[in-house]
């Protein structure tokens, strides 16, 4: 992902509009690119600051809020990956079970 692409994803990220794939690529870039992280921090601080005016997140440090948000996003990406692994595994297991049943049936003929 380029910095330009990452910058375009900042607002969708804050609005929670990224797909899991986009989110993963975005997090990867932001965590390894200082200038994009700074950019995100600025946007996030503004956004979180506005939310604070509404009474949300009262008394919380802005930096911590972004760290927390990034952590939650990472957990989401990781959780989705884990789910995919589990899903694939259960599919393979189901196929194996089916194969065993079919083979047993054939052997019993
Ligand atoms: Zn960048």
Report how far ligand 1's centroid is from the alpha carbon of 27 (Å): 11
pLDDT category at 68 given cuts 50, 70, 90 is confident
Report how far ligand 1's centroid is from the alpha carbon of 8 (Å): 11
Specify the 3-state DSSP secondary structure of 40.
Answer: helix
pLDDT category at 47 given cuts 50, 70, 90 is confident
Report how far ligand 1's centroid is from the alpha carbon of 96 (Å): 45
Report how far ligand 1's centroid is from the alpha carbon of 13 (Å): 15
Contacts by residues 11-18 (CB-CB < 8 Å, ≥ 24 positions apart): 11/43, 13/40, 13/73, 14/43, 14/44, 14/47
Domain ranges (residues) in the chain:
3-81
Least confident window among 4-8, 59-63, 72-76, 93-97 = 59-63
Question: pTM, whole model, 2 decimals?
Answer: 0.66
Interatomic CA distance for residues 44 and 63, integer angstroms = 9
Find the DSSP H helices in the chain.
Answer: 3-14, 20-32, 34-53, 62-108
Average pLDDT of span 27-50: 90
């Amino acid at each position: 992902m380029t910095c330009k692409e990452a910058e375009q994803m900042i607002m969708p990220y804050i609005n929670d509009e990224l797909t899991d794939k986009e989110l993963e690529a975005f997090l990867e870039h932001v965590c390894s690119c200082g200038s994009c992280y700074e950019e995100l921090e600025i946007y996030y601080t503004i956004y979180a600051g506005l939310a604070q005016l509404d009474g949300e997140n009262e008394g919380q440090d802005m930096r911590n809020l972004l760290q927390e948000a990034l952590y939650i996003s990472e957990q989401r990406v990781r959780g989705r990956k884990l789910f995919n692994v589990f899903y694939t595994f259960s599919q393979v297991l189901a196929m194996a079970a089916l194969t065993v049943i079919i083979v047993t049936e054939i052997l019993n003929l």
